Amino acid sequence: MRNLLTDSFELGKRGQSSGNVDIELGLQGDLTSSAQPGFEGFYEQVKEVESLLNTLTKLLKDLQNSNEESKVVTKASAMKEVKKRMEKDVNEVTKIARLAKSKVEQLNKDNAVNRGKPGFGKGSGVDRSRTTTTVALTKKLRERILEFQTLREEIQQEYRDVVERRVFTDNRQADRNRRRRANLSESDSRARARKGTGHAAGDPGAP
């Protein structure tokens, strides 16, 4: 598992608003009202990000389940299959998280452009709604990325623990083998010595 989850990425702070926006408000507005002035195409983009976040949540759950499964698998073939599945999920998580991040960044750019239109400037109802929605999405994406990074660290630590136990076990087994060989060698030497003594005692020509 050492090569799993090696790609780290951070969500930039460009998705944060400098205003006093309550990100706990969640997504605002009617997601079917993109035809409203100031919201052209906005909520379609929001739906796309929400769909990506839902997919991320499912993939992270699958990855957690696979990681737990890997702890109890004993057959090499089964472990190989679990690892293959985990690697596939990791690649998907990375790809989707980056795509969601780029879409959130695009929302922020679009919000900035929209503020330049008459009646939709900073502090207007439209701008507050767009900003609150975008910040809520940013918060959700950060949470998914944090879960991803935490799981990655857990898997890497578990891998290190497994390697350390394996090295310790191998060293103990090597010590046992050395002692066994030493004991066998000593036993052989004693047997040869006894055999040599017996021959000497039974030799008629011996004084």
Ordered by start, the domain boundaries in the chain are: 42-149
Per-residue pLDDT, 83: 87
Q: At what angle do helices 76-115 and 125-201 cross, to 10 degrees?
A: 160
SS (H, E, C) 2-26: CCCCCCCCCCCHHHCCCCCCCHHHC
Residue 176, helix vs strand vs coil: helix
Output the pTM of the full model.
0.63
- Condensed to tens digits (0 to 9), the pLDDT of residues 56-73 reads 999 999 999 988 888 888
Q: Does 186 have pLDDT greater than 70?
A: no
Per-residue pLDDT, 165: 63
Q: Does 19 have pLDDT greater than 90?
A: no
Q: Which is more confidently placed, 171 or 142?
A: 142
Lowest-pLDDT choice from 124-133, 148-157, 175-184:
175-184
Lowest-pLDDT choice from 3-12, 103-112, 174-183:
3-12
Q: Considering the domain 42-149 in this protein, what is its CATH number?
A: 1.20.58.70
Residue 183 and residue 199: Cα distance in Å, rounded? 24
